[in-house]
Amino acid sequence: MDTTQSIRQQILVVGSSNTDMVIKAAHLPRPGETILGGTFFMNPGGKGANQAVAIARLGGPVTFICKTGSDIFGHQSQQLFEEEGINTSYIFSDSEHPSGVALITVDEKAENCIVVASGANANLMPSDLARAEEAIEQADLVLMQLEIPMETVCYVADLAWEKGKKVILNPAPAHPLSAELLRRLYLITPNETEAEMISGVKITDESSACEAARVLSGMGVQNVIITLGSKGALIYCDGKSEIVPAWKVEAVDTTAAGDVFNGALTVALSEWRDLKEAARFACKASAISVTRVGAQSSAPYRNEVDIFG
């Protein structure tokens, strides 16, 4: 590795910040059903925030752009980000909308269902990002999700692409994507559901996952990684696909598994690792996270991932 590649690249996360309100229950409720659940707890969450925290704990130099309400949840979030070592210079406060919240139910099998009230996240607009152009200029890798307005995602992708930055999109929650946005992406990281929606290919096995990745690549994305839960991740690059297997663990809570995966993946890429090495590192971090309860609280630290497996 030459001296230029020994320098870790700068990471920018643009996304959501929520407070997660979680109840553990025997099973997920059906429509009209009331369940007497068990433990209740509140955790900081939101896909953008989860990924930023995961990056910081794994040693990545990260700046986070989000919008929170001018309320106790927003103030607490900013304080926690600063304690994690995240650059919070471009976090915007919204006096008109409350901070985002997510209501989460987790069953005995560690599966979950989530309802999100976006609040200030839905008011993170291109005009805000225009005031944070310096953050995009200073970044090498830009990671986004879809819990903020699509127009903002497209604005950042366009600006980052014009500046020669690598744009990584975790297309969650699932949402149709424009051809122009897809052409701006260095990497897209859908799960199976999201890959089906974007590609139109129903995923039932490794072969159909590979076909979905091929279709996504044909839509203009440079690289594709489809996360497959307990089966690992499928990498599609230069017309070739490969499965990176997951580590076998006993899952307790899968709430932030995808966010930890994306954060760890971006850290590994910032360290000049190739996609396969980065996916292996991300699978390890994600495996650790599902053995713990909570979103940001489940994100592992670097030394834990380095010694895992």
> Does 147 count as an annotated binding residue?
yes
> Does 59 count as an annotated binding residue?
no
Three-state DSSP at 229 gives helix
Which residues carry out catalysis? 259
> Does 309 count as an annotated binding residue?
no
Contacts of range 77-80, beta carbons closer than 8 Å, 24 or more positions apart: 77/17, 77/19, 77/44, 77/49, 80/44, 80/296
Please name the residues in contact with 139: beta carbons below 8 A apart, sequence gap of 6 or more.
10, 11, 12, 63, 160, 165
> Does 71 count as an annotated binding residue?
no
- Residue 113's nearest CA partner among 25, 3, 200, 47 is 25
Burial of 205 (0-12, 13-18, 19+ CB in 10 A): exposed
> Does 255 count as an annotated binding residue?
yes
> Does 240 count as an annotated binding residue?
no
> Does 47 count as an annotated binding residue?
yes
Three-state DSSP at 144 gives strand
Strand 67-69 with 62-65, pairing: unpaired
Which helix H or strand E contains 236, and what residues bound it? strand 233-237
Distance between CA atoms of 272 and 177, rounded to whole angstroms? 28
> Does 241 count as an annotated binding residue?
no
> Does 63 count as an annotated binding residue?
no
> Does 112 count as an annotated binding residue?
no
Whether 17 contacts 148, CB under 8 Å: no
> Does 68 count as an annotated binding residue?
no
> Does 239 count as an annotated binding residue?
no
> Does 46 count as an annotated binding residue?
yes
Annotated binding site for K(+): 253, 255, 289, 292, 294, 298
Annotated binding site: 18-20, 46-50, 147, 191, 227-232, 253, 255, 258-259, 289, 292, 294, 298
Annotated binding site for substrate: 18-20, 46-50, 147, 259
Annotated binding site for ATP: 191, 227-232, 258-259
